[in-house]
Amino acid sequence: MRVTDELPRGLTTVSGERVDVEQRLGAGGQGEVYRVRVGGQTRALKLYHAHMATASQRRDIERLVLKGPPTPHFLWPLQLVVAPSGPRFGYVMALREPRFHSSEDFMARRVVPGFRALITAGYELASAFLKLHASGLCYRDISFGNVFFDPRTGDVRICDNDNVDITGSGQGGVLGTPRFMAPEVVRGEAVPSSETDRYSLAVLLFYLLEGGHPLEGAREAGIRCLDLPAMNKLYGTEPLYIHDPADDSNRPVPGIHDNPLAFHPLYPEALRRLFLQSFSEGLRSPHRRVMESVWCRELPRARDALVYCAQCARQCFHDGESPGGALRCWSCGAPVRLPPRLRVGQRLILLNHDTRLYRDHLHEDQDFEEVVAEVSQKPGDPGRWGLRNLTTDKWTFTRPDGSIADVPPGASVPLKTGNVVHFGMARGEIRE
C-alpha cells in the first residue's frame, strides 16, 4: 500500500476549517507529523496516536492555543484539529523551513556553522526561553531533539511545544531528556520548572559552543556500561563539571572529548565564567543558575568581539579580559590584526566587513531584530570603509579636528580613528 493511501482524511479545525493532509513528515512516541494545507496556508500537523489523545492533553493544547507563542521562534500550537470520528486529535503549527537543521546535524558535522552563527543561536535560545518563563511557563524538555537552527545565520526554531506547562505544576508529562535533565530531576527530588529549564539551557549552550557535554570527562570515559545507575550517578548524584577549577578528576580525555578541550579556551572569559557558574554552583543550587537575561547580555558581547584571521579567514574572539598580548589565530597561528573598533558606552564592537549594529547596541533594550547600521565599502572605492546609517534618522559625526558632518539615512561615517558618531542619544567613538 502506498503511503499516500494511508494519509488521514476528513480532518478539520475546531472552527470548521478543512485540513488537507499532503505528506507524512515523521512519527514519534506521541503521534505523527504531516504537512497540511489549511486556510490557504501550508502548515504542519501533529496528530496524536489514539492512546495519547487524552482529555488532559486536549485541555493543554487548547490552553496553549489561547495563550499564543511567546516569540516567533516557537513552532507553537495554532489551532486544535479533530478527526471525523474516534478520539484522535492534534494541532497545526508553522511548518519548519528547510534552512533549519537539527542539532544532531551539527554534532555529526553534517553542517559546520561559524562562531557568529553559534553565538547568535545561543542568544536566540536564551531570549526565547526568557520570554517563555516570563509568562509563567516552562518548557520541560530542552534538548537537542527539540531545537533546530540555521547554520548560516543562527536563527532558531523550537518544536514540541505541547510539552510546555505551568512552571513547577508537577501535573505529569515529560521530565526531560537524559543528559539534559537537572540533577534534582534525575534524583527524583523535583519536577520540571523554569529553574530546571535553566540548567537544560546551559547544557544545550555548552553543546553548541564546545561540542560536548559539560559533565562527560574522565568519569564518563571510565564507565564500561553506561546503564541507568551509572547515568544517575554521572548526571544526578555525583555530577562534576569537566572544567571545574577545584577538582580535575573529571577533565576531558584526549581522543574522546577533543571538542571541549579545543574550544573551551577560545571563548571570552565572560562566557567561560557563566559556564562555570552553571555547572558548579548551579549543579547544587538551582536558584544560583545563570538567568536567561545574563546569557542575553553576554552572548551578543561575545559576538561583538569576533574578528577574522586574514591568513585563513577563521573567526577568532578578541577578549579584552585575557592577558597574553597580541591575538593569534586558533587555527593557523598567524597574528590577527584587529579591524577598527567602535566603543559605545561600555561596549566594544569590532567593525568587520560583515558587522551590523542593532538597536540594542545603542539603546541596550535587547532588540537584535532592528538593524541600525552596517559596515560597507564606499561605492567606487573598495579600499575605503564606513558605517552606514540604516535608520530613518539623521546622525552626525565629529572629526578629530572638531568639524561636524551630517550622516543622513543611507550615508556612511568613515572608519577613521577619532571620529565620534552621535546616534541620537547614544555616542560612539571609532578607533583603529
351-405 confidence digits (pLDDT tens) = 999 999 999 999 988 888 899 999 999 887 878 899 999 999 999 999 999 999 9
Per-residue pLDDT, 3:
44
Name residues whose C-beta falls within 8 Å of residue 268's C-beta, 6 or more positions apart in sequence.
301, 302, 305, 317, 319, 321, 322
Q: Measured between alpha carbons, how far is 425 from 225 in angstroms, rounded to an integer?
A: 61
Encoded amino acid at 261, one letter:
L
| Dihedral over Cα of 52, 54, 56, 61: its sign | positive
Counting DSSP H helices and E strands in the chain, the numbers are 12, 23
Q: What is the maximum span of the chain, computed from C-alpha positions, in angstroms? A: 80
Decide the pairing of beta strands 147-149 and 156-158. antiparallel
Q: Which residue has the cell 577533565?
A: 251
Q: Measured between alpha carbons, how far is 37 from 52 in angstroms, rounded to an integer?
A: 24
- Joined grid coordinates for residue 316: 577568532
Q: Long-range contacts made by residues 287-292, C-beta under 8 angstroms, separation at least 24?
A: 287/195, 289/195, 289/198, 289/199, 289/202, 290/198, 290/202, 291/198, 292/126, 292/127, 292/129, 292/130, 292/133, 292/198, 292/201
| Dihedral over Cα of 418, 422, 428, 432: its sign | negative
pLDDT digits (tens, 9 = 90+) for 21-52: 999 998 888 889 999 999 999 999 999 988 88
Per-residue pLDDT, 388:
96
Per-residue pLDDT, 169:
67
Name residues whose C-beta falls within 8 Å of residue 280's C-beta, 6 or more positions apart in sequence.
241, 244
Per-residue pLDDT, 29:
82
Per-residue pLDDT, 321:
66
Query: Are 350 and 338 contacting, i.e. CB atoms less than 8 angstroms apart?
Result: yes
Query: Are 222 and 240 contacting, i.e. CB atoms less than 8 angstroms apart?
Result: no
DSSP code at position 265: G
Pick out the chain residues at pLDDT < 50: 1-4
Q: Measured between alpha carbons, how far is 202 from 371 in angstroms, rounded to an integer?
A: 28
Query: Are 269 and 321 contacting, i.e. CB atoms less than 8 angstroms apart?
Result: yes
Per-residue pLDDT, 226:
86
Per-residue pLDDT, 109:
80
User: In this structure, how many other beta carbons lie within 10 angstroms of the beta carbon of residue 29?
Assistant: 6
Cα distance from N-terminal residue to C-terminal residue, the chain: 68
Q: Which residue has the cell 585575557?
A: 322
Query: Are 264 and 272 contacting, i.e. CB atoms less than 8 angstroms apart?
Result: yes
Q: Measured between alpha carbons, how far is 116 from 106 in angstroms, rounded to an integer?
A: 15
